[in-house]
């Protein structure tokens, strides 16, 4: 129990970071009604771009912005494959993800893992989020305002605020209409193909930004760091819906629910590993089981609370 409590700040920090990625998944999965598999590759793209630029001496904000733009570019690639080439969205995402594996390796100089030099005092001072800060805050040598939970929390609030504003504009409303009913949106003169590309661009931009934050947190980028990202993102979306759908009706609160869902996911993972003493080699299996349970809850809930239908005087479940 003590070890679990000690790891809680780290689990919450990672949950917040992955929560930004999950918000990106929410845009495609819930708003556009597209299961975009690009995210497994674009997450690593953001981390790779950030580490390479930041490690070479670039300003941290410039490196973050470059990661965001790189992620948007991957979304545009998937969008064009889908809209211009007529490739189904799920296959377009797989193709982009496949190509990104080589591109990400090229960005990192054909290395599977590239670390940030945290022993360099300049790098350490510039890092917004780092495991070092968790340790330093615990020792009282760093202010709480540099703690990952605080910093990523601010990024999350800012992200939700910007998205809430954007989806309240005419362009944002047209994007939501595209996902709700594509034929009706087209009949109203909405350029649905352009909106799909825009939605994929926004989504993967956020995913890559999340990857850049994770690279800061762990001080390195890895070629396989985005593996399974779509599963984690969908899990966060589903957990948020299951737990908060009846409480959160405002769009901004729904995005917040996704972030909270991501934190819950990581806390549950950490609790299972810490309290059961399971070998970490089984972590992927544990993740798959937990995600499957949360994905099944809406189905079980619907079956358990569905009202019986009366036919011919008889009751049918």
DSSP secondary structure of 36-100: -TTHHHHHHHHHHHHHHHHHTT--HHHHHHHHHHHHHHHHHHHHHHHHTS---HHHHHHHHHHHH
Among residues 66, 33, 59, the alpha carbon closest in space to that of 211 is found at 66
Question: What whole-number distance in Å separates Cα of residue 131 and Cα of residue 236?
Answer: 23
The pLDDT tens digits of the residues spanning 167-204 come to 999 998 999 999 888 888 888 888 889 999 999 999 99
The pLDDT tens digits of the residues spanning 60-107 come to 889 999 999 999 999 999 999 999 999 998 999 999 999 999 999 999
Is pLDDT at 109 greater than 60 in this prediction? yes
**Considering the entire predicted model, what is its pTM?**
0.86
The pLDDT tens digits of the residues spanning 269-283 come to 888 777 677 777 777
Q: Mean pLDDT across the chain, nearest whole number?
A: 83
Among residues 243, 203, 189, 265, the alpha carbon closest in space to that of 11 is found at 265
Domains of the chain: 2-301 (1.10.3470)
The pLDDT tens digits of the residues spanning 30-57 come to 899 888 899 999 999 999 999 999 888 8
């Amino acid at each position: 129990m003590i070890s679990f409590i000690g790891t809680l700040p780290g689990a919450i920090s990672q949950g917040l970071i992955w929560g930004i990625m999950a918000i990106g998944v929410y845009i495609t999965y819930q708003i556009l009604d597209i299961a975009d598999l690009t995210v497994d590759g674009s997450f690593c793209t953001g981390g790779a771009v950030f580490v390479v630029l930041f490690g070479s001496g670039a300003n941290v904000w410039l490196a973050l912005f470059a990661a965001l733009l790189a992620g948007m570019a991957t979304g545009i690639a998937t969008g064009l494959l889908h809209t211009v080439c007529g490739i189904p969205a799920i296959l377009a995402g797989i193709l982009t993800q496949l190509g990104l594996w080589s591109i990400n390796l090229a960005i990192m100089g054909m290395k599977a893992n590239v670390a940030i030099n945290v022993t360099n005092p300049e790098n350490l001072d510039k890092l917004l989020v780092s495991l070092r800060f968790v340790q330093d805050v615990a020792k009282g040598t760093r202010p709480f305002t540099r703690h990952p939970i605080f910093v990523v929390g601010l990024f999350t609030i800012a992200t939700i605020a910007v998205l809430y504003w954007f989806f309240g504009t005419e362009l944002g409303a047209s994007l939501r209409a595209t996902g709700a009913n594509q034929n009706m949106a087209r009949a109203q003169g909405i350029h649905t193909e352009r909106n799909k590309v825009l939605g994929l661009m926004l989504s993967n931009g956020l995913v890559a930004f999340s990857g850049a934050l994770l690279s800061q947190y762990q001080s390195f980028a890895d070629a396989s760091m985005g593996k399974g990202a779509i599963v984690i993102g969908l899990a966060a979306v589903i957990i948020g819906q299951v737990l908060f759908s009846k409480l959160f009706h405002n769009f901004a609160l729904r995005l917040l629910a996704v972030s909270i869902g991501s934190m819950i996911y990581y806390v549950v993972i950490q609790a299972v590993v810490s309290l059961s003493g399971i070998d970490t080699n089984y972590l992927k299996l544990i993740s798959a089981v937990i995600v499957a349970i949360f994905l099944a809850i809406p189905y079980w809930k619907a079956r358990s609370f569905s009202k019986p239908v009366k036919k011919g005087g008889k009751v049918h479940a």
